[in-house]
Amino acid sequence: MTAKVEQRTYEDAVAWLKEHGFDLIEAPGTQTRVFLKKYTCSAAIQKTDDGGAKIFAYPGYMIGSEISKLVNRGYQQFLKTTKTEVAATADHLKALQQFSEELKEALGTPSLYNESLGTTSESYHYDRIKDRDEPEVDRPKRPWETVRVKVAAVKKSRA
């Protein structure tokens, strides 16, 4: 049986966040947007036209003064900013998952099962499927494809 989640107003969400230990920083030049910090993670919420609250900046782990973006490369998750990319550790992912769950509770948005199993990434980049939407002649050669060509050339020269 599903439980109905009641969305909060922007003011109620901000009050809940303050009560639960979030640091709130007003966004410069606007009164309807705030940045949140907790567990070395950050996000931003803004007031909607109907008085509710929605996420403006997706939650991310803070690296320096920048909110990182979680990127999944298939074999490893990374925290990516405009300046650097760092391999995500279990501690990073735990903090990010806890932050995201509390933020959803504050906003009154549903917590989905697949998201509560672990941290979901905002972006997925698998190297073996990159460029597969291109015509075959335009696709760059993969490392394992170029090795076959070199091995075949060596075998022909020995014959």
pLDDT in tens, 107-118: 888 777 655 545
Structure tokens at 36: 């949140």
Q: pLDDT of 84-115, one tens digit each?
A: 999 999 899 889 888 888 888 888 887 776 55
37, 127 contact by CB (below 8 A): no
Confirm whether 154 is domain-assigned: no
Distance CA 58, CA 110 (A): 16
**Residue 56 structural domain:** 10-130
Distance CA 13, CA 54 (A): 10
Count: domains in the chain:
1
Q: Which residue has the tokens 């997706």?
A: 58
Confirm whether 100 is domain-assigned: yes
Question: In this model, does residue 58 exceed pLDDT 50?
Answer: yes
Question: In this model, does residue 13 exceed pLDDT 70?
Answer: yes
53 or 142, which is more confident: 53
Confirm whether 40 is domain-assigned: yes
The dihedral over CA atoms of 110, 112, 118, 120, expressed in degrees to the nearest 10, equals -90
Question: In this model, does residue 35 exceed pLDDT 50?
Answer: yes
Distance CA 55, CA 99 (A): 13
Cβ neighbours for 122, distance < 8 A, ≥ 6 positions apart: 58, 69, 70, 71
Cβ neighbours for 100, distance < 8 A, ≥ 6 positions apart: 41, 59, 115, 119
Distance CA 119, CA 110 (A): 15
- What is the model's pLDDT at position 14? 87
Confirm whether 19 is domain-assigned: yes
Confirm whether 138 is domain-assigned: no
Confirm whether 69 is domain-assigned: yes
